[in-house]
Structure 1
Amino acid sequence: MWFRPYSPGPGRWLVIGWEALALALLAWATIRQFDLTGQGVKLVACALAALWVIGAHRILQMGAYVGATGLRIHGLIRSRTMSWRDVAHVRLHKASHRVGPWRIESGMTVLIERRDGSMVNTELWDQGIDFHSRPSVFRAVYHELRNRHLAAQNTY
């Protein structure tokens, strides 16, 4: 059984609404650009509505889920499941981006280091839509992941 150890932030609904608006604009532009009528309009509207429903579902599901056997990371495009045995470390990473000669700090993220040496990014970012105004929740989730990992290590 998987569960997300935090409630999603209200900003997810803002993102879903923004995507609906963007896809509606795309539908309008496509219909005007190609002079679509009748069935063409219905096809574009249904295709973009289906894309929005799938995307909205994935946005609502994004995050880190824990279970007795491991950790599951749901991203926008794909999901990854790792057993606790495969996880070497759960750590914080200070993220930054380079813009020319400047380095711009962008906050803390949670990274999962696997035993094979590879790193797995999570959707957990202290400045993200779930934690921006709730830094204590970000810290609690990080500690929950670390504690579950440590507890699982003690069982094998």
Structure 2
Amino acid sequence: MPLPFLTADRGFEATDDVALPFDDRERWRRPYRPGPWRVGAAAILLLLASFVLFAAVAIAFTAPPARSGLVFGVALAVIVGALRLLRMGVWVSPQGLRHVGFAGTRTTPWERVVAVRTVQQPVRWLGLPRTVQGQALTLVRRDRSAGGAPPLMTTHNADFLGRVEAFDRAADTIEAWAAEHRRA
């Protein structure tokens, strides 16, 4: 089964005419690959789900159906959580910029975007309460101040921890995409 949200588009190059060159410009795209921390966490969750499914099958043969149904439900919840974890990130399309979190998604049309910029600031390490000095890609909207919005992505999140060059490429691509669509 193909998982299109795991693939990234070709990287941004200075010689390209457009910010994100690909065939179908109308689809939502994540201009970077999910990082090893995110993929590793999802793999561990899917491994856990396989054990829970095995337990559900064993319970289905030995216990009443209600118990096995409950365990199947837990396995399904773990699988959905792993897939949602893989889907998290920043997505772009001609309609706007989409920030997908674990519990929700915020979409901002390009008309409401004032700027997308990289700033040096304290950032959360892997989403935990601990903060370290790093870079963050921030979104400034017309209807809100820049200070209240969480960063779109940071050098210390699950996609870019230990991969500063990948963060720079992804931030440059998203900034170029924003510059192209704010002009149009």
Range of TM-score over shorter length: 0.7 to 0.9
What is the TM-score of this pair, normalised by structure 1? 0.75
Is 1:54 the counterpart of 2:83? The answer is: no
Is 1:131 the counterpart of 2:157? The answer is: no
Q: Distance in 1 between matches of 2:94 and 2:181?
A: 8
Listed as ranges, the matches of 1:71-150 within 5 Å are: 71-93=97-119, 94-96=121-123, 104-118=131-145, 119-150=148-179
Aligned to 2:37: 11
The structure with the greater share of residues assigned to strand is 1
Is residue 87–residue 113 contact of structure 1 (8 Å, CA) maintained in 2? yes
Listed as ranges, the matches of 1:56-71 within 5 Å are: 56-71=82-97
Is residue 123–residue 154 contact of structure 2 (8 Å, CA) maintained in 1? no
Q: Distance in 1 between matches of 2:35 and 2:43?
A: 14
User: What are the ranges of 5 or more consecutive residues in structure 2 without an aligned counterpart?
Assistant: 1-26, 56-62, 125-129
Q: C-alpha root-mean-square deviation of aligned residues, in Å?
A: 2.6
The share of aligned pairs that are identical, in percent, is 26
Q: Distance in 1 between matches of 2:167 and 2:123?
A: 18
User: What are the ranges of 5 or more consecutive residues in structure 1 without an aligned counterpart?
Assistant: 29-36, 98-102
Aligned AA for 1:129?
A
| Count of residue correspondences | 140
Q: Deviations over 1:70-123 (max 9, x none)?
A: 1111111111111111111212341257xxxxx942522222111012454355
